Amino acid sequence: MRRITTALAALFAILLGNARPAAATPQDLFGLGARTQALGLTGVSYAEDYEATFANPAGLGRARRRGIHIGLSAGAYDLHIDDERFPVDAARGMTIGATLPLPFHDVLQDRLVLGLGVYTPQQVLLRGNVRFPDVPQWPVIERAQSLGIVLGLGIDLHSTDLEGLRLGVGVSAIADVIGELDVRLDETSSFSSTVETQLLATFAPIVGASYDIGEWSFGLVYRHELRAKMDLEIRTADLPVSLPVLTVGGIVQYDPGQLAGEVSWRPDPGLRVIANLTWRMWSQYPGAQTATSLSSLSAPDPEFSDTVSPRIAVEGTLRDRRATLHLRGGYALELSPAPDARLAPRRNPDGSAVMNDAVPVRYLDGDRHIVTGGLGLTWDLSASERVRFDLFGQAHFLVDRVHQILRTGAMEAPEGMGMRTGGVILVGGWTIALEF
């Protein structure tokens, strides 16, 4: 209870005041859009506005109104190691969304819809930490802070033999930081340097399909692996000794490839029941660290494993003339891909393990029970115009975990006496929209 109270107090402070820039809230961790974030991180079978750009771009095909959305969200962490609070700065950012049915006629009428979702963190465009593997760190839940953009196109195959089927394609974009640092001795035997850096976009495709038949809606989406890296090459010249090119950086943002399937059922116009299963391909995660030079040893293999996340949600709708109220709740179980903190061998340049060279690896994580909730209010201004307000909250409860090693040192701990980790993450936010 003390951990929940501490995180809740921090969350309110962030939503109402200023917060330090910190680990952000990427859409892969907490979702994109207040409705799907309140409904257990689902949306593959029913999302139909800018939220569908990430959930399933095929859902954009349902949209018949143009829409502009803007919102704020924040997340507060209360993580602990051996009953001591682990400092993770709070997250705060803005979400901007747009939905645009393309105004074609004849065979393309009400057929194509574009959607855009943007998450922009406070104060910075990209922030990441690449630490040595023996330093305690949370690579899954403490993601890099970065600007995220998702663009999607939905295609509705109505008035054809494939009535009810919708297809969608999209792309997620984040930024890489690439640069060079040249160091040399000038004519006065003094060191001089020049630096050149570039911010480059990196993309990952999203493809999906959805099908509506009667009271049932089905959805399937694949999101490709998305990673942002920071590479700074250090080159030297005119020095008394020759040094190899050194690389400083690593992977500062990583979203695993995912395949999600979902079904939703509407037994009544005022009730929707949702079930989702998401497969995350964490076994492809290479680790944050990269080799400093061509002959350097690499950090140990993170040995992450694939996970399957079940999710359920319920949405109730009450209508009264021009007003519509939506009540939402959901639950998701996110299993941890990370093994216990342990001793593991470093890797040679060819990827093989170095014999008799075990070092501590403290990649911390835990299974998360995620409870979500929220509400939405829609007010019809006219037959074609309406205003929407959506509010959401999430509580992530990390299951306590006992690891194989202690917080410091390079020895295995007696069974049951290793480092203990756990904690709570609270997330909340709102969006307001005009649809016309």
* pLDDT: which is higher, 85 or 191: 85
- For 319-338, how does the pLDDT look when each residue is reduced to its tens digit (9 = 90+)? 998 999 999 999 999 999 99
Distance in angstroms between the alpha carbons of the first and the last residue of the chain: 45
The answer on pLDDT for 1 being more than 90 is no
Helix, strand, or coil (residue 62) = helix
Distance CA 279, CA 30 (A): 16
Work out the pLDDT band at 221, boundaries 50, 70, 90.
very high
Phi, psi of 54 (to 5 degrees): -100, -45
Q: Name the residue type at position 47.
A: A
Structure tokens at 241: 């000794």
- For 275-310, how does the pLDDT look when each residue is reduced to its tens digit (9 = 90+)? 999 999 999 999 888 888 888 888 999 999 999 999
Distance CA 223, CA 249 (A): 25
The answer on pLDDT for 35 being more than 90 is yes
CA count, 13 A, side-chain hemisphere, 110: 9
Work out the pLDDT band at 128, boundaries 50, 70, 90.
low
Q: What is the pLDDT of residue 363?
A: 94
Contact 362, 342 (CB under 8 A): no
Question: What share of the chain has pLDDT > 70, as a percent?
Answer: 92
What is the 3-state composition of the chain as percent helix, strand, coil, each rounded to the nearest 5? 10, 55, 35
Sign of CA dihedral 271, 98, 121, 127: positive
The answer on pLDDT for 366 being more than 50 is yes
Contact 205, 54 (CB under 8 A): no
Distance CA 152, CA 178 (A): 27
Contact 42, 313 (CB under 8 A): yes
Structure tokens at 411: 């020895």
Residue pointed to by tokens 């920071």 = 230
Q: What is the DSSP letter of 108?
A: G
Neighbours of 372 (CB within 10 A): 26
Q: What is the pLDDT of residue 271?
A: 98
Work out the pLDDT band at 420, boundaries 50, 70, 90.
very high
Question: What share of the chain has pLDDT > 90, as a percent?
Answer: 64
The answer on pLDDT for 25 being more than 90 is no
Q: What is the pLDDT of residue 143?
A: 66
Region 150-173: what's the mean pLDDT? 96
To the question of pTM greater than 0.95 for the whole model, the response is: no
Region 128-149: what's the mean pLDDT? 82
Region 229-251: what's the mean pLDDT? 82
Distance CA 388, CA 390 (A): 7
Contact 390, 39 (CB under 8 A): no
Distance CA 58, CA 331 (A): 24
Structure tokens at 293: 């030079």
Q: What is the pLDDT of residue 234?
A: 86
Closest CA to 306 of 265, 370, 258, 369: 258
Closest CA to 336 of 140, 142, 143: 140
Neighbours of 363 (CB within 10 A): 28
- For 168-201, how does the pLDDT look when each residue is reduced to its tens digit (9 = 90+)? 999 999 888 888 888 887 777 777 888 888 888 8
